[in-house]
Amino acid sequence: MRKDVILLFVFNLVNSSTQFALVLILSRFLDQEDYATYRQFFLPFEVLAPLLGLGLSNTIFYFFPRFENKIKLLQTCLSIVLVISIIFQLIISLGADYHIATLLKNDSLINYFYILGLFSFFSLSNTVMYSYFILIKKTKTSLVINFIGNIILLLGMLFLAMYYSSLEFILIFRTVVFAIIFILMLLQTKAYIFQYKNWGNFKIDLNKIFMYSYPVGLSLLVGVISYKIDKILVSNFTSPEDYAIYINGAFEVPLISIVTSSIAGATFGVMTQYCKDKNYTLALSLFKKITITSALVLFPSFAFLFWYSKDVILLLFGETYEASHYIFKVYLFLLPIRIIQYGNVLIALDKASILLKRSLIELILSLVLSLLFYQLAGINGIAYGLIISVLFWTVPFNLSVISKGFGVSILELIPYKKLSVIILSAFIGTIVSELIQIISIELNIFFDIVITSIVYGLLLILFKYITYDPNVKIKIRLSCLD
């Protein structure tokens, strides 16, 4: 399992770092209006992705043990994505583009929506392919393909941003690179050769996967809308330039997707099998290990980034987006709760249908609270509404359902003592870094990171979360994974 975690960590590190680097490049080389248009172009896709993809990158884990012919499973999933993407593009072309542009108060978007359906297909298909490669034990192959694709994407976008500044070329180029990644991965499988000899069997499998997946997709859709509702409201209430400032603060650092996706991706299949076999003791043990392992990275990230939020924003985006730091600080409160991949665990427990109820209530709460706080605190209030609904409704609800699924109480589900030690160690490390600056010299942010990491690591060793073998030059073991 550790090998899979490491491979997926590298995979997600490359992918997330590249996507984040693109944001940094474009925010510096494009003017605010074009940069806002770039971010708003993908907003409809980001909101509708769960419905367009039906959560197949997750549900494929559920069906993998249930399909004797694994390639048939992949072909069926990709076929569903293709049909839905075509329908999506037709809807956009028949007038939805105008209404979306009006909602987001940016008429320029109409000029680019003609490629959104194509981008959607390749993007969603790639996520399904990544999950499939994990299941067939070819993570290393997908890692190589993804790395090559991301390097091409990064260099190409940098060139276009520096010398052409054509938003249309930038959007087309990103779509083409995603298509190349898809084709390269497809060639590594036999999925390009249709496996079904009987169309009736294909329709049966198609219907089976669709009927299971669409409730997952709907619930994820509502969840994403509730998570993206602040971006939609800000787009509608303000100018593209103001949206650019908001969106550069309203993000979760790449560490979230890197750490949680890596660990969850490597363990989701095992968790699903444990739950299928009703071996909830092992499932609970694995759940706790995932939680603690994620916390070892996410908790110190939260402490450090919260303390130095303004410095981080200035370093990443420059003085033009200095005002983004306050929204960034608010959004950081989502970081600690990401130590658990709630959706994956609920799917493994066969509780996918309950996701829709949770997400609907979250959406209503987010919308009501965001509008309420907007009246009290302006644009910042929109972010407050989102964060409060997640922290005080979504998380408690998820933990309640998961604990019942495992047959334990919430107190038995969460390793509170260990998590408390980790977050305390994280803040101590950050405070020590700040004290050194006050007492002696002012350090730049990179030295702050080094000092914080050293103190944090020493505290973890003290509390026996990390052990060191002096007989081996480089060997650090995470006790929580044993």
Angle between helices 2-29 and 309-317 (to 10 degrees): 70
In a domain, residue 241? The reply is: no
- CA 253 to CA 57: how far, in whole Å? 22
Last residue of a domain, one of 202, 232, 262: 232
458 with 391, same domain? yes
Both 278 and 196 in a single domain?
A: no
Residues 217 and 70 in one domain: yes
Cβ-based neighbours of 384, under 8 Å, separated by 6 or more: 330, 369, 370, 373, 377
Q: Rounded to an integer, what distance in angstroms lies between the CA atom of residue 399 and that of residue 403?
A: 6
Is 242 within the bounds of a domain? no
What is the total count of domains within the chain? 2
Q: Is residue 243 part of a domain?
A: no
Q: Which helix (H) or strand (E) holds 274?
A: helix 254-276
Torsion of CA 196, 197, 199, 200, to 10 degrees: -100
Looking at the DSSP bridge assignments, the partners of residue 476 are: 468
What is the phi-psi region of residue 118: left when phi exceeds 0, alpha when psi lies from -120 to 50, beta otherwise? alpha
The encoded tokens of residue 311 equal 């410095």
**Hey, is 169 helix, strand or coil?**
helix
Domain with 436, as residue range(s), is 248-482
**SS3 assignment, position 260:** helix
C-alpha 216/C-alpha 343 separation (Å) is 9
Tokens of 389: 């609904």
- In this structure, the answer to whether residues 226 and 252 fall within a common structural domain is no
Question: Which among 206, 232, 258 is the end of a domain?
Answer: 232
Based on the fold, state whether residues 98 and 172 are members of the same structural domain.
yes
pLDDT value of residue 467: 40
What would the two tokens of residue 209 be? 């996967």
* SS (HEC) of 339-366: HCCHHHHHHHCCCCCHHHHHHHHHHHHH
* pTM for this model (two decimals): 0.70
Q: Is residue 166 part of a domain?
A: yes
Residue 367 and residue 259 share a domain: yes
Residuewise pLDDT in 10s, the chain (482 residues): 556 556 666 766 777 778 888 888 888 888 888 888 888 898 888 888 888 878 777 777 777 777 777 777 788 888 888 988 999 999 998 988 888 888 888 888 898 999 999 999 998 888 888 888 877 878 778 888 888 888 899 899 888 888 877 888 999 999 999 999 998 888 888 776 666 667 777 777 777 777 777 777 777 777 778 778 888 888 888 888 888 888 888 877 766 666 666 676 667 778 888 888 888 888 888 888 888 888 888 888 888 888 888 888 888 887 888 888 888 888 888 888 888 877 778 878 877 677 777 878 888 898 899 899 988 888 888 889 888 988 898 899 989 988 888 888 888 888 888 888 888 887 777 777 767 666 655 555 666 666 666 666 666 666 555 444 444 333 334 444 44
pLDDT value at position 471?
A: 40
Residues 271 and 338 in one domain: yes
The CA radius of gyration of the chain, in Å to the nearest whole number, is 23
Residue 441's pLDDT is: 58
**Amino acid identity at 225:** I
Give the pLDDT of residue 163: 83
Do 127 and 256 share a domain, yes or no?
no
Query: Looking at the structure, do residues 259 and 388 belong to the same domain, yes or no?
Result: yes
pLDDT of residue 121: 92
Domain end position, chosen among 182, 199, 232: 232
Note whether 317 and 196 are same-domain residues: no
* Same domain membership, residue 41 and residue 106: yes
